[in-house]
Amino acid sequence: MSAGGGPAGRKRVWATPANVKLLPVSALADPGARNLVLQIGDAFFHGFLVRKDDAVHGYVDRCPHAGLPLARELDGYLTPDKGLIVCAWHGALFQVEDGLCVGGPCAGGRLTPWPVTVRDGSVYTA
């Protein structure tokens, strides 16, 4: 790992500029989740979006327990019933609406929010 938290030679950033169009809302199942990687200059941002009850929430793709990405499989962020976000490495469970850890090794911790907004049928960074 490099000092930026990514593979050697690949810098990582933990925030994005505002007003970047990410994808149409229709590209997200309800409920569903989607991984996104954005290149910002010479660094990369890793995040994911979760749609539930027609609301879209964004989070930095990093477990507060061990600092690893949450999913082992592409877009695999939700429990089988799609009610919670799950860390595939340690089984931590997070509420979709606010990222609060409600079970597992980081109980009481929280995912880092990634501010996003929906307008004109698309998801944008906020």
More confident residue, 67 or 30: 30
Determine, yes or no, domain membership for 2: no
Taking phi over 0 as left and psi of -120 to 50 as alpha, with beta for the rest, 18 belongs to: beta
Domain assignment present for 113:
yes
Domain harbouring 27, CATH code: 2.102.10.10
Check: CB of residue 19 under 8 Å from CB of residue 125. Answer: yes
Q: Examine residue 115 and state whether it is found in any structural domain, yes or no.
A: yes
The answer to whether the beta carbons of residues 65 and 106 sit under 8 Å apart is: yes
DSSP secondary structure letters along 55-95: EEEEEES--TTTS--S-SSTT--B-TTSSEEE-TTT--EEE
SS3 content of the chain, % helix, strand, coil (to 5): 0, 40, 55
Per the CB < 8 A criterion, the answer to whether 25 and 123 are in contact is yes
Range of the domain at 30: 20-125
**Assigned domain for 30 exists:** yes
DSSP H or E segment with residue 36: strand 32-40
The number of distinct structural domains making up the chain is: 1
Residue pLDDT, tens place only, 48-99: 999 999 899 999 999 998 889 999 999 999 999 999 999 999 999 999 999 9
Give domain status of residue 14, yes or no: no
Q: Is residue 110 part of a domain?
A: yes
pLDDT beyond 70 at 8: no
What is the pTM assigned to this prediction?
Answer: 0.91
| Position 15 in a domain | no
Is 31 a member of any domain?
yes
With the CA atoms of 113, 77, 39 and 99 taken in that order, what torsion angle do they form, in degrees rounded to the nearest 10? Answer: 0
**Mean pLDDT, rounded, for 20-27:** 98
Distance, in Å, from the CA atom of 15 to the CA atom of 21, rounded to the nearest integer, reads 15
Q: Tell me what pLDDT residue 9 has.
A: 67
